[in-house]
Structures are given as structure tokens and as C-alpha cells.
Amino acid sequence: MDLTIRFAGESGDGVILAGEVLTYAISRIGLKIFTFRTYPSSVRGGPCLYQLRASDWHAYSQGDQLDILVAFDTEAIASHSKDLKPDGELIFDEDRTPKTYSSLRKRSLGAPFTSIAKNELRLPKARNMVVAGYVGAHIGVSKEILEEVVRNKLGSRGEELLNTNLLAINTGFGLAPKATPIALPKTPSNKIILSGNQAIVLGAIAAGCRFYAGYPITPASDILDSMVSLLPGFGGAILQGEDEIASLGAAIGASYAGIKSMTATSGPGLSLMTEMMGLSSMAEIPVVIVDAQRGGPSTGLPTKTEQSDLNHAVYGGHGDATRIVLAPGNVEDCFHQTIRAFNLAERYQLPVILLTDQSLAQLTEGVPMPDLESIKITEREKAELAEIDGFRRYAVTHDGISPMTLPGEAFGEYVAESVEHDEKGRPSFGPHAHSEMSAKRFRKLTTATKELAEDPLNVMELPDPDADLAVIGWGSTQGAIHEAILRARKNGTHVRWLQCKLLNPLPEAQLSKFLKGAKKVLVPELNYTSQFANLLRARLGIDAISLTKTEGLPFTPDEILRKIEEVA
């Protein structure tokens, strides 16, 4: 079973909430889910959609064509009917679209959702819950499960509002056709529903993060919201800074005091944080920075997805500044790569950037409960203090890593300078000091390259030694590529695939081993300038074939499959 449903309408109509209710309900009856949402940056008005894919196998992406389109207005029908399968169904609001509308599909189901919410429920905004009840009944979700989800989502908003929405769900449920076209399995679900941002928050807390500073920015604001709700319960503290610069500065300051710290932002905020990232590198203070990428440059597309911050993450900033860059590929990966980000920051005493994007940050998936007992946590190396005036915070070592102290420790005082310094942290502007300290800082990346050379978290692979064509991706393209590879192999095409999670330092040994014997390399990514393809070309000397997309939307499996078949 594989069912794709799209809710489409105007921002402010409750389109996304209707989709979320159905998502949680379907998940509770045992199906695997994958969602995608896109919306305008305005509070009301402008088109938005919520796409839900439910399957009894592990669907890796939001899918291609639609089984059901739920159109809240006529414009949604005009914009999205083209994505319906030939035998797909259209569910529409008869109050917004007349039955005589020329673009109605042969398989169209209409009901007066608007007038029911306005006249019967006396709450026009409850139209989305009438729609959710209708769609839930139509596909076979029980009324009890729908009611339970609504109670969980809206129970805190007051009894009167909750009861009206429950009535709306029941009213919509009763309107649906008696025949159920899709039989859903009634098996219990053993997974939790999380967004990418929620998984990052849980991963950070599991890793020991106890200070978070941030400034609201789409699509990373959910991280701040979740941290406010959860972190104090673990003894942590949150600061909403006056801007992104102050937020990263506060996180660096907390880390200097010995507290694992994090901030999150999007592209415009990362631009503002650039000098502070240099401070973290120069002062060798661990910090984790989440960049939930969106369309750019400048304000760009605040609520749309893109992978165009890679160059900034790897190279951005003046001077030679060390940093590690990671890119999770799905929601479960967000949890584990966030833990890894903290471990690497603590081990190598530098900033670690975790690159997600709007699609991954806000999509939801059912993920297995993590085994917390198996998680390995790394702590920063602490100095052993014994003699007065003998502590060298920036001691030149074989691996570039020098032990740290906490403020106030006897004999462990030092100044974490932003200017160049000697081994004790004292400002030093001579040529020898800068050369020696630059080499020390970058020796940590050399050490990381060696220590992480065979780390399975660096990459995900589907090998095929007989394949001439290799596909390499990064970040949120993982699901669409995965499905495209499976379809290509089903069609008889030999193709191998690697998804790179460690972007700096690049795992060159693993990449070279994967590419051995490949004659063509295809790199799909969501930016205009082929940033990852160019990085691979510069580091490995490969002539990659780029597949780029800059529509503010993720790849579909079919888009990648067509390119695979073209170049294979």
C-alpha cells in the first residue's frame, strides 16, 4: 500500500493543521509516514500545501503523483490537479468551487465544508477539521483515532474550542461516502512522529546540551520553541538573543564556561554569525550551529527549501578558520548527527555546523525510539593542573588538541582571545606565532580526518560494483535519491549511490573507494551553482554531472530517475 494525499489552499485556512491531524492518525494505525509542507511567508494569504505519504513499506520521500488532492479552493484545483494520478481523486469544497467547474476530475467528491463550519458549527475556522474528518473517514481511519489526535493537539486551547473541533471532525466523518476505497492496516505503531527540527532538539539534549541561544528565523524557529519547552526540564537554560550575533556569542561564552551549547539559524543569520564562528575557531571553543537552509540570497525565499549555504558553511569567513560540517539526510539522521556534532565539537574544540534545510527541518516521519543506552558521548579534554603559571591553554601538540580548563580553576586561568596568541593565550603578532598556531588549529582537522576515516556515520551507501554510473548526494536529497535508485534497479539499470554526511573534512578515502571503477558521476542538489559537485571536483578531481533545482521545492524521485536514465 502506498498512498499520497495533498492538502492545498490558502495560508490561514488551516490547511497544514488538517494534514497534521491526518498524519498522526494514520501513523497510529501502523503505517509509515513521510510529509512535506510549503507555505508563504505571510501570516494569511498565499498558497500553501501539506503533502502526506503513507505506506506499509518505508517510503523515503514525499512521492511523485497524488492519489488524493484535497482542494480548499478553486485555485488549488487549478494549481495541483496536474499532479494527480490518472485515477486519482479530487476532494473539494462545494462552497468554494461549483460542481460545474470545468477542471473537476471524473473522480471528484464535493461537500459544502465552508457552510457547514459557518452555519452548523458557528466557527468558520473549523472548516479544516470538517475536511480532516471527511478525508479520514474516506480512507478508513477510525473516528476514535481522529478524536484522540484532535484532543492531543488542541486540548490545551480550552474546552469550548476543543469540543467545537471534535464536533467538526465528527460532522466531516459523517459526510464521507460509505464505501471505503482504501483498506488501512489496524496494527499498532511502534514509532514516534518527529520533525527534523524536533529530532535535532532531542539529539542535542541527549548529547548533553544545556544552553541554547537563538533568534527567531524561519525555518529554524521551531528549534528555539522546542528548547524553551524541553531544556529547562533537564537543568538547561535558554536565551533569546537580540540578534544572531549575540546568540552565537552567548553560546560561545557558555561553552567557555564548560557548558555544551548550541544555536540555530538560517542563511541570513549564518551570514551575521560568520565573525563569531571565526572567534570559536581562533579561541578553540566548541559550539554547535544548526543552519536550516532556505532559498537565498538576502531574505530570498524564507519559507522554501534550498541547499545553497554549502560554500558558506565550508569556506565562509575571513582568514583560515577551522570548522566541521555535517549534513543529515532524514529525520532519524537529524537525531544522531546532532549528537555527533556535539561529540566532534567537544573532541576537536571548534565550531561544528549542521546543515539541514526547510524541507528536512519541517517534514515529519515516523522514526524508531532511539536506544539511549547505546549512545556514546564525548567530553572535551580537561587539563591536569599542578603548577603555578604552568598552564598552556594552546599548547602545541601532535594532534592539535590542547586540554581546556574552566573559569575559576586554580592555576588554569587563561584569556580566550580573538587575536592571535601564544601557547598561554597571550596576544602575539609575530610571524612565528601566527604560523605555529595556524598549523596547530588545522592539525585538529588532520587528526579528525584520520580518526573519522572509516566512520560509518560519514556516508550511506548502496553499492553496485558492476555499475558505471555513480550517484552522490548530500542532505535532504537522500530520500528522493534512494527511491530513484530502487526504481532504476527495478528497471534493470546498474547504478551505485552514496549519500555524504560529513562535508568538511570530506571523507576522501571512503569516496574514492566508492567511486573506483565508476565512469560517470551524477550529483543532484538543490542549488543553482552545483556547490557540492564543485567541491567534489576540487577535492577529488572528478568531472561530475550536475542535476540542480532551484524552485524552492525538494526533488521528486521521478525527477532524479529521469536524469539517471538519461546519463546511464
pLDDT at residue number 278: 97
Q: With cut-offs at 50, 70 and 90, classify the pLDDT of residue 120.
A: very high
| CA–CA dist 303, 293 (Å, integer) | 10
| CA–CA dist 398, 554 (Å, integer) | 44
Beta bridge partners, 211, equal 237, 261
Where does residue 493 rank: exposed (0-12), middle (13-18), buried (19+ CB within 10 A)? middle
pLDDT at residue number 1: 84
Q: Which of 164, 118, 111 is nearest to 138 (CA)?
A: 111
Residue 72 predicted with pLDDT over 60? yes
Q: Does residue 105 share a domain with residue 47?
A: yes
Q: What single-letter amino acid sits at 127?
A: R
Q: With cut-offs at 50, 70 and 90, classify the pLDDT of residue 189.
A: low
| CA–CA dist 317, 281 (Å, integer) | 11
| CA–CA dist 304, 36 (Å, integer) | 11
Stretch among 74-83, 172-181, 278-287, 552-561 having the lowest mean pLDDT: 172-181
Determine the structural domain holding residue 242 and report its residue range.
193-374
Q: Does residue 523 share a domain with residue 496?
A: yes
Q: Which of 426, 425, 415, 265 is nearest to 351 (CA)?
A: 265
pLDDT at residue number 56: 84
Stretch among 33-42, 320-329, 430-439, 554-563 having the lowest mean pLDDT: 33-42
| Residue 117 DSSP class | I
pLDDT at residue number 184: 59
Residue 500 or 192, more confident = 500
Q: Which of 392, 426, 451 delimits the end of a domain?
A: 451
Residue 188 predicted with pLDDT over 80? no
Q: Does residue 487 share a domain with residue 407?
A: no
Q: Which of 189, 205, 235 delimits the end of a domain?
A: 189
**How high does pLDDT run on average in the chain?**
94
Contact in structure between 480 and 558 (CB atoms under 8 Å):
no
CATH at residue 529:
3.40.50.920
Q: What is the mean pLDDT of residues 446-468?
A: 96
Q: Does residue 331 share a domain with residue 245?
A: yes
CATH at residue 252:
3.40.50.970
Which ranges of 54-109 does DSSP label H, i.e. alpha helix? 74-80
Beta bridge partners, 520, equal 469
Q: Does residue 359 share a domain with residue 292?
A: yes
Q: Does residue 460 share a domain with residue 444?
A: no
Q: What is the mean pLDDT of residues 12-37?
A: 92
Residue 80: phi and psi, rounded to 5, are -115, -10
Count up the domains in the chain and report the number.
Answer: 4
Contact in structure between 203 and 338 (CB atoms under 8 Å):
yes
pTM of the model: 0.94
CATH at residue 24:
3.40.920.10
Q: Which of 430, 451, 472 delimits the end of a domain?
A: 451
Q: With cut-offs at 50, 70 and 90, classify the pLDDT of residue 102.
A: confident
Q: Which of 415, 567, 550 is nearest to 488 (CA)?
A: 567
Q: What is the mean pLDDT of residues 103-109?
A: 87
Q: pLDDT (tens digit, 9 = 90+) per residue, 364-389?
A: 998 989 999 999 999 999 998 876 66
Q: Does residue 175 share a domain with residue 33?
A: yes
Q: Which of 326, 119, 62 is nearest to 207 (CA)?
A: 326
Q: With cut-offs at 50, 70 and 90, classify the pLDDT of residue 316.
A: very high
Q: What is the mean pLDDT of residues 260-288?
A: 98
| CA–CA dist 207, 23 (Å, integer) | 29
Lookup result for grid cell 567530553 = 379
Residue 182 predicted with pLDDT over 90? no
Q: Does residue 235 share a domain with residue 319?
A: yes
Q: Does residue 126 share a domain with residue 79?
A: yes
Q: How far apart are the first and last CA of the chain?
A: 30
Q: Does residue 286 share a domain with residue 161?
A: no
Q: Does residue 367 share a domain with residue 499?
A: no
Q: Cα 189 vs. chain centroid, distance in angstroms? A: 23
| CA–CA dist 129, 135 (Å, integer) | 10
Q: Does residue 185 share a domain with residue 197?
A: no
pLDDT at residue number 288: 98
